[in-house]
Amino acid sequence: MFSVRFWGVRGSIPVPGPSTVKYGGNTPCIEIRAGKEILIIDGGSGLRGLGNALLPEMPLVVRMFFTHFHWDHIQGFPFFTPAFVKGNRLDLFGSNKLTGTLAETLAGQMNYPNFPVSLNDMAAQIKFHDLREGEAVVCGDAVISNTQLNHPGGVFAYRVDFGGHAVVVATDTEHYSCLNAKLVELADGADLLVYDAMYTPEEYAGDEGLSPKTGWGHSTWEEGVKIAQAARVRKLVLYHHDPDHDDAAIDAMEAAAQRTFSNTVAAREGIKLEIA
């Protein structure tokens, strides 16, 4: 089995409410099942729901890969219930380009007065692994590789290869004036590309009197389509939705992308995509 399930698809801040019911308001968290391996990309607020869903499968071995450590990608970690249960094992992976260690970075948001319990109160066996660009991690029969993309403070895109198929997650990345050759190479021939489509092309450029979003570290559905076409990707998933975009706005972005790349969907909380 090789599948991808979305538990949080929103960027920047959770936005629950009637205008976001269809796509969801939780921040980034993706569950990937590769055979017996449980892989998690990012620990946004969606991680809480995933953790609760995993409880019947305990004891657990979970590999969690952080694209970067902005708050919307780690804020769910203190609410990940399996981390508090003895007998579970968590392997946490992320960039070594931090002011502190990976452990210190995750512990920081749980320090007093931010949170009532500390990282040391988590009873699961937790191991921290600093990653360098291009370093591959083998988890069972799955191989997880990475490359650095364009975002303030740095960000990893991840590729998961399993059974002759591949999934690529490229969130929180800003496109260049030309296609990012590193991302095209990472995504080459992938079954699924999950791509940062936070803005419309008009929002990004600052058209129609809008404030431009250049330099903010995010991209558009239009650039996602270009990458998907250049990398010969089978399916494109628009991800990291702007907190100011309601369901109707995301519907419109999905429809616009489909006119150029028909096999495009906008990520929704709870959607599960079977790869193989």
Q: pLDDT, tens digit, for every residue of 195-209?
A: 999 999 999 999 978
Judge if the upstream peptide bond of residue 113 is cis by omega within 30 degrees of 0. yes
Residue type, 260: T
Nearest CA among 20, 17, 3, 74 for reference residue 241:
20
Share above pLDDT 90 across residues of the chain, in percent, rounded to a whole number: 91
Token pair in block for residue 49: 């729901």
Give the pLDDT mean for 20-41: 98
Domains of the chain: 2-274 (3.60.15.10)
Give the pLDDT mean for 23-29: 98
Nearest-angstrom CA–CA distance, 236 and 200 = 16
Token pair in block for residue 142: 């799955």
pLDDT at position 134, please?
95
pLDDT in tens, 70-126: 999 999 999 999 999 999 999 999 997 667 788 888 898 999 898 999 999 999 999
* pLDDT reading at 29 higher than 90: yes
Cβ within 8 Å of residue 66, ≥6 positions away: 42, 43, 73, 74, 92, 93, 94, 95, 102, 156
pLDDT-derived band of residue 7, with 50, 70 and 90 as boundaries?
A: very high
Token pair in block for residue 9: 């698809």
Nearest CA among 194, 144, 145 for reference residue 169:
194
Average model confidence (pLDDT) across the chain: 96
Judge if the upstream peptide bond of residue 59 is cis by omega within 30 degrees of 0. yes
pLDDT in tens, 155-184: 999 999 999 999 999 999 999 999 999 999
Q: Is 165 helix (H, G, I), strand (E, B) or coil?
A: strand
pLDDT at position 34, please?
98
pLDDT at position 144, please?
98
Residue 95 backbone dihedrals phi, psi, to 5 degrees: -60, 145
